[in-house]
Chain A
Amino acid sequence: MTESARKISDSLYLPKSASIKKVIQFTELEKFYHLSFDDGSELGHQPGQFVMVSLLGVGECPISISSSPTAKGFDLCVRKVGRATEKIHKLKEGDKLGIRGPFGKGFPVDKLKGKDLLFIGGGIGMVPLRSFINYAVDKRKDYGRIILLYGARSPKEIFNFPEFEDWKAGKKDVELLLTVDRGDDKWKGNVGVITTLIPGLKIDIEKTYAIVCGPPVMYKFVLLALEGKNFKEDHIYLSLERRMKCGVGKCGHCQIHGYYCCQDGPVFHYPQIKNIKEAL
């Protein structure tokens, strides 16, 4: 069968079964899941792509892939925020769920070889960034500096990723700058929104590329702060969130003017969406 004939005969909407191998409760609302496909296959994704997670009888939701393709299996991090994600939160190690994908255009990992990477993640925006951070760490020689600005609302809401202690200790050659909007009694680190970390950065703007993901409200302030550093517009990549029902460029919900977020994104080059009012 030819490629196109094979595709036509298959259903676009048939999920593939995966099992949960490990669950970590990050915060009250967020859980981390390590999964693998029951047929032993790998997801074969690019950093920055997403999957549609399917729960029979409940529905589907788009979830960012948090792991690097250099690792076995794949990781998702799910915030309990709707019907499907509430159900996912009830699942335990050994339980199964359906996966479609990977979908979309991820981070330009090849184009950014040899460059310094400035990751700017706010809250759950850290989840897709981690797929590229771990990829760059595993291919350390291919990239220059790896700088990570991570902002959470409070110390309790910082995600304890499996490699987080390494990052904090400065291992793996990752320069981590952590901040929280509000501290607590024990917190001794930075307090303030993520943009407060940007002015003091010592970076080579010719060589540095920013990769940004966070809540919708964060992007404009981050862009302003980067502009303040004379950061080049075409050195910025953003990962965006949209409502999605199919993941395959049909259902229309994720349309951002001429782009489908599920096909042309979720990662966009800033010049692509700069003049689109509804993009951010």
Chain B
Amino acid sequence: MSITTVDNSIEGPPTEPLRPAAHAAQRSDYGWVVQVTALSAVLGVMLALAIRTTSQIENSTQRLDRLSVSSAFLSRFQDQNENLQDEIKDLRRQVSDIEASVQTGSRSTEQLKKQLQDIKVQAGFSPVEGPGLTITLSDSPEPPTTLGPADDYSATLYRVHDQDINNVIAELKAAGAQHLAVSGADVDNLQRVIVKTTARCVGPTAVVNGTPLSAPYHILAIGDAATLRAALERPDGFIHSRGLDVRKMVQIEDSPRLALPEYSGFTTKHAKPIATN
């Protein structure tokens, strides 16, 4: 830009009358050389800064093809999400209360009510309490410092992934855990495990029941604590073969009294029950 401008002033007077003046001006232009040089230097620095910033962003793990939004915008949706889940819990309790209060005077209705209550508890649609285990999964406190950037695979071994959560839950289910719930760092945001519950990594969070949770993850399991613990600590079990114990990424605690909430997400849209009874 500035170079073009200077050129114009020296050799580009568009009309005849300016020609003698241009010659005179040429001498005094030597002062401009310094200024233009200084400007060019400043421009060069800016350009360098801009290039560095861009390449930093490109080098970061995130891809540029994903749009970015501010975290304030995100927290609005988070708040709304928690409010909606609370409201769903509220409404489900109302429905349960009404169901329990239905009086028809017939034995079959009483059986129906009992069956409904039992399945709700079993399937995760009623809150439950009981003794069991709390398993905490976190990133390793001692990640290897000797690993170079090429050792991406080794580095990921020291971080908790969705499959770690899913595998620990599977071990607990197989060992007879009756009720399960998962939370992230926010221990109040407990997500009950129902049939379709799974953890799926999205960015730095694990999405459980549609709700993003962040490490450390807590898995609450109601069941026989000794049996569940023995299953988790088996030498050929998931925790040891994955190296979660060696890398200090897992903590197992007995919990004499756990309170798990009911499922607070949405249900079905496409699957229709086939009437059999």
- B is bound to A: no
List B residues at the A interface (Cβ < 8 Å): none
List A residues at the B interface (Cβ < 8 Å): none
